[in-house]
């Protein structure tokens, strides 16, 4: 391997949240980045390759942290990475919050890891009346110090040139930060580090002249409850619209292209030299699965980009502050409001949005609640079933489902706090409000691409595998049948008929309904179509015909109480697992064990609620 392509020591990016670390990573790696989980955890990091003339280095963007005293899985990951990797630590210091950043630098120095310092937010510090002299800082620290602007890429060349000179911070002795140690020793170490930070800070930072900045002026407006709350609600509405009105047509277009011309061409081409069952597997199984994944990519990209704009602009911290009081009801702080609101548009990007939450416990807690936010895909099912339950007031019934969705989130959150998350404390929200700044498109697009690709390759495998299994169940004849066009003659229909008695207490133990609910695991949009297919009714040409068929079935299965059974069915649709893409995304961010538990809880809760609703509803005259 030539010197021009020699892979040199890796780089670990360490820094406080909102210090510009992840933007710097995007500038370093461009599109050569991917999202990975830290070994043995569900904590996400970004890994990429930094290429410059004569240099190739792996770069790992570690989770943002204020301390290496590990109190969360995110902090554990940073400590482990610094302890085990033979790499250079690039510690990102925020010039506008230098004392806080210097404390983290001191802790990194304690690991004995070679260090290079990258200083960001120099323009913000100047706006606050504080000029940081980088040459003086380098003399005081004894390691290379480089000023960088992650938004423009300024300083990257100098940072690359500084890496070979990485060294050990002057005045901080190495020790094992990952060991437990005695409390008194820990306190003494912390006191020593604070003393070092104070000494360096005093040498670097003259007392600034108080100055009202642009950020201060904007915050006087946006943090005022009378103005800030309406603006915050407007931002939430815009996010919701992005996942529905804006992304919806794109999703429909992708779906029509994949299931229409692409499927037709593929079937025609494959039919010339492969058996019918291979055509069915590849077109109706694999291709349809890839189509489902493809339909989610636009909404994921739009959502990730919107969140990146909100986060990079500095508004995300303000939104969390404004929503904090309301979110305390479910034991979370204000940062959880964005994923939960997005869930009413689509659960998949809502789960992805949990990455904005600071700790793994909060991300896990929120991700378990997201599936109970009623996504727009469920709306079609509500509209059809509302005509069975209360045709004269169908709109009121549909509205009631959204009220019930909010209640499920509240009650589910309370139940989780009393059981699995009883040790999760509702600590006061302590936020660092970063300065407002103009988001930079290029690094944002690089990050969006990495995360969308991670979804496509991670969650996509699960979606495709699930749809291939569904195709196989529909293609294999049921015991005692020779096969046919009706799903009832397939193994899929036979399984639905076998499971149907479980729903007897809820009033809808019928194979038509149960097979449609099973299809709802793939996507909730499938439920109405599958009901129409099983009844041989054109749902678009004869919408009332489908309603009449469902009502007739529920009348028979409920003993003459179709309205109560229809309402119970609506509740079950709300409560059980939204779709296979949601399952795949939960598995990607939570791991297999928690995903299995989540799906089980959703099914049990949905069945229990449906039974309660039906048993009470049948008592109403």
List, for residues 504-522, the tens digit of each pLDDT value.
999 999 988 888 898 888 7
Mean per-residue pLDDT, 597-616? 93
User: For residue 33, what pLDDT band results from cuts at 50, 70 and 90?
Assistant: low
Torsion (CA) 385, 499, 530, 340 in degrees, nearest 10: 60
Query: What whole-number distance in Å separates Cα of residue 409 and Cα of residue 415?
Result: 10
Look at residues 54, 57, 56, 58 and name the one whose alpha carbon lies nearest to residue 4. Answer: 54
Of 26-40, 94-108, 267-281, 485-499, the range with the lowest mean pLDDT is: 26-40
E strand map for 72-154: 87-94, 115-120, 145-147
The band of 178, judged by pLDDT with boundaries at 50, 70 and 90, is very low
Least reliable range by pLDDT among 169-178, 281-290, 363-372: 169-178
> What's the pTM?
0.66
pLDDT band at 502 (very low <50, low <70, confident <90, very high): very high
CA–CA separation, 35 and 47 (whole Å): 6
Residues whose CB is less than 8 angstroms from the CB of residue 366 and which lie 6 or more positions away in sequence, other chains included: 332, 336, 339, 340, 354, 357
Q: How far apart are CA 246 and CA 248, in angstroms?
A: 6
563, 606 contact by CB (below 8 A): no
**Cβ of 31: how many Cβ atoms within 10 Å?**
12
* Residue 40 pLDDT level (bands cut at 50, 70, 90): low
414 against 333, higher pLDDT: 414
Contact 584, 462 (CB under 8 A): yes
Domains of the chain, each with CATH number or no CATH: 3-211 (3.40.50.300), 222-375+406-455 (no CATH), 461-617 (no CATH)
Q: How much helix, strand and coil, in percent to the nearest 5, is found in the chain?
A: 65, 10, 25
């Amino acid at each position: 391997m030539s010197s021009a392509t020699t892979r040199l020591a890796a780089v670990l990016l360490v820094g406080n949240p909102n210090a510009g670390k992840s933007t710097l990573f995007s500038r370093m790696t461009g599109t050569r980045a991917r999202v990975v989980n830290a070994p043995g955890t569900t904590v996400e990091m970004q890994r990429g390759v930094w290429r410059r003339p004569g240099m190739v280095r792996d770069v790992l963007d570690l989770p943002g942290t204020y301390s290496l005293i590990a109190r969360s899985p995110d902090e554990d990951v940073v400590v482990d990475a610094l302890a085990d990797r033979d790499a250079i630590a690039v510690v990102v210091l925020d010039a506008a919050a230098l004392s806080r950043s210097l404390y983290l630098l001191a802790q990194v120095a304690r690991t004995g890891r070679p260090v290079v310092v990258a200083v960001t937010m120099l323009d913000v510090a100047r706006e606050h009346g504080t000029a940081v002299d980088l040459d003086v800082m380098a003399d005081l620290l004894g390691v290379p110090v480089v000023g960088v602007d992650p938004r423009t890429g300024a300083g990257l060349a100098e940072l690359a040139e500084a890496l070979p000179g990485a060294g050990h911070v002057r005045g901080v002795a190495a020790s094992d930060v990952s060991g437990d140690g005695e409390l008194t020793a820990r306190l003494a170490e912390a006191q020593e580090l604070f003393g070092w930070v104070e000494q360096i800070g005093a040498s670097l930072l003259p007392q600034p002249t108080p100055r009202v900045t642009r950020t201060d002026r904007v915050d006087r407006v946006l943090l005022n409850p009378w103005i800030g709350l309406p603006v915050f609600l407007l931002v939430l509405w815009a996010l919701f619209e992005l996942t529905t009105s804006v992304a919806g047509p794109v999703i429909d277009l992708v779906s029509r292209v994949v299931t229409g011309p692409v499927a037709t061409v593929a079937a025609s081409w494959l039919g010339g030299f492969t058996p019918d069952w291979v055509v069915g597997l590849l077109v109706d199984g694999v291709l349809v699965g890839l189509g489902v994944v493809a339909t989610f990519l636009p909404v994921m990209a739009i959502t990730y980009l919107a969140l990146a704009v909100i986060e990079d602009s500095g508004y995300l911290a303000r939104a969390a502050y404004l929503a904090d009081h309301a979110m305390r009801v479910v034991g979370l702080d204000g940062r959880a409001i964005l994923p939960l609101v997005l869930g009413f548009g689509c659960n998949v990007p809502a789960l992805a949005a949990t990455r904005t939450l600071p700790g793994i416990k909060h991300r896990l807690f929120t991700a378990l609640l997201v599936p109970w936010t009623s996504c727009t895909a469920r709306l079609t099912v509500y509209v059809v079933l509302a005509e069975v339950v209360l045709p004269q007031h169908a709109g009121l019934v549909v509205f009631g489902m959204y009220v019930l969705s909010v209640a499920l989130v509240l009650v589910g959150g309370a139940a989780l706090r009393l059981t699995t998350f009883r040790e999760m404390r509702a600590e006061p929200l302590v936020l660092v409000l970063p300065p407002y700044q103009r988001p930079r498109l290029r690094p944002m697009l690089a990050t969006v691409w990495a995360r969308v690709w991670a979804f496509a390759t991670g969650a996509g495998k699960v979606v495709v595998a699930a749809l291939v299994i569904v195709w196989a169940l529909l293609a294999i004849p049921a015991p005692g049948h020779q096969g046919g066009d009706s799903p009832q003659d397939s193994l899929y229909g036979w399984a639905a008929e076998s499971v149907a008695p479980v729903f007897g207490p809820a009033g809808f133990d019928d194979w038509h309904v149960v097979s449609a609910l099973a299809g709802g695991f793939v996507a909730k949009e499938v439920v109405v179509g599958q009901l129409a297919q099983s009844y041989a009714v054109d749902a678009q040409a004869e919408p009332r015909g489908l309603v009449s068929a469902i009502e007739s079935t529920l009348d028979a299965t409920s003993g003459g109480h179709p309205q109560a059974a229809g309402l119970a069915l609506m509740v079950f649709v709300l409560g059980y697992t939204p779709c296979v893409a949601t399952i795949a995304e939960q598995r990607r961010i939570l791991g297999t064990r928690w995903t299995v538990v989540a799906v089980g809880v959703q099914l049990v809760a949905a069945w229990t609620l449906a039974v309660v609703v039906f048993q009470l509803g049948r008592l109403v005259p």
